[in-house]
């Protein structure tokens, strides 16, 4: 019996060594796995921290962007409003008054020249065409003035609106001056033709002299 146990022991000893080696390998592998797990955990922690920082920076940038957009929009919306200083600018009324003068002088002069009998139908049509150009330009000025002085139409600062009104007024003044020059030129032609025809009555009328 004792010999039997000795034989068993001798047979089992190599396997015991192999088992011990296997257990040792498993323990070593387990330790490596634990170390890798710890490293992965550290990497994950760092990734979470970096993500959190990026998220915070994104929110800051987003907040700044939204704030900038709001300020920009408020500024632009403010440019849509016309201030009382612009509305009460004296040239606004002058432009409207000059438009009225354009219309009145056109109607008066054209009616007078037609009534002299000194001009042909073709010439009168040419006069009408010239007057239409003056009136169209004047109407364009008034339309632009309306845009400049109406809320919600144009984004302009007060300085830009006042500058635009000055420009419109200057153009309207030019149209009036051109019409006056044209009327004077036509009146001179009428006088010359009336004198040549010996039409004293027409000459007197053109010069504003009574009978």
Residues 126 and 179 both lie in one domain: yes
Residues 97 and 118 both lie in one domain: yes
Q: How far apart are CA 83 and CA 149, in angstroms?
A: 9
Q: Is 145 contained in some domain?
A: yes
- For the chain of 211 residues, list the mean pLDDT of each consecutive stretch of 10: 50 52 66 70 70 58 51 54 87 92 92 90 94 93 90 83 94 95 92 76 52 40
Sign of the four-CA dihedral 146, 149, 152, 155: positive
Instruction: Provide the pLDDT for residue 103.
Output: 92
Tokens 């170390």, located at residue: 35
Residues 99 and 203 both lie in one domain: yes
Each residue of 131-168: b (16+ CB within 10 Å) or e? beebbeebeebbebbeebbeeeebebeeeebbebbeeb
Instruction: Provide the pLDDT for residue 156.
Output: 84
Residues 131 and 199 both lie in one domain: yes
Read out DSSP for 29-73? HHHHHHHHHHHHHHHHHHHHHHHHHHHHHHHHHHHHHHHHHHHHH
Domain end, chosen from 30, 64, 79, is at: 79
Instruction: Provide the pLDDT for residue 210.
Output: 40
Residues 65 and 112 both lie in one domain: no
Q: How far apart are CA 103 and CA 136, in angstroms?
A: 11
Q: How far apart are CA 78 and CA 93, in angstroms?
A: 24
pTM beyond 0.75, yes or no: no
Instruction: Provide the pLDDT for residue 199.
Output: 60
Total number of domains in the chain:
2
Q: 113: domain range?
A: 83-207
> What distances in angstroms separate CA 140 from CA 37, 49, 133, 160, 199, one per listed residue?
80, 65, 11, 19, 41
Instruction: Provide the pLDDT for residue 38.
Output: 72
Residues 103 and 144 both lie in one domain: yes
Q: Is 89 contained in some domain?
A: yes
Residues 94 and 163 both lie in one domain: yes
């Amino acid at each position: 019996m004792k010999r039997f146990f000795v034989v068993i022991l001798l047979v089992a000893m190599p396997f015991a060594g192999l088992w011990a080696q296997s257990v040792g390998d498993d323990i070593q592998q387990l330790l490596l796995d634990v170390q890798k797990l710890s490293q992965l955990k550290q990497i994950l922690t760092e990734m979470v921290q970096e993500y959190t920082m990026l998220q915070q920076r994104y929110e800051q940038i987003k907040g700044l962007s939204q704030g900038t957009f709001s300020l920009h929009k408020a500024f632009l919306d403010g440019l849509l409003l016309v201030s009382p200083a612009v509305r009460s600018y004296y040239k606004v009324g002058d432009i409207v008054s000059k438009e009225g003068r354009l219309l009145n002088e056109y109607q008066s002069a054209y009616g007078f020249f037609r009534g002299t009998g000194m001009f042909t139908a073709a010439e009168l049509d040419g006069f009408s065409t010239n007057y239409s150009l003056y009136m169209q330009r004047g109407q364009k000025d008034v339309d632009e003035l309306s845009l400049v002085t109406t809320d919600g139409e144009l984004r302009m600062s007060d300085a830009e609106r006042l500058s635009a009104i000055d420009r419109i007024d200057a153009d309207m003044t030019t149209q009036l001056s051109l019409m006056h020059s044209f009327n004077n030129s036509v009146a001179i032609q009428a006088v010359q033709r009336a004198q040549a025809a010996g039409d004293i009555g027409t000459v007197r009328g053109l010069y504003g002299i009574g009978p």
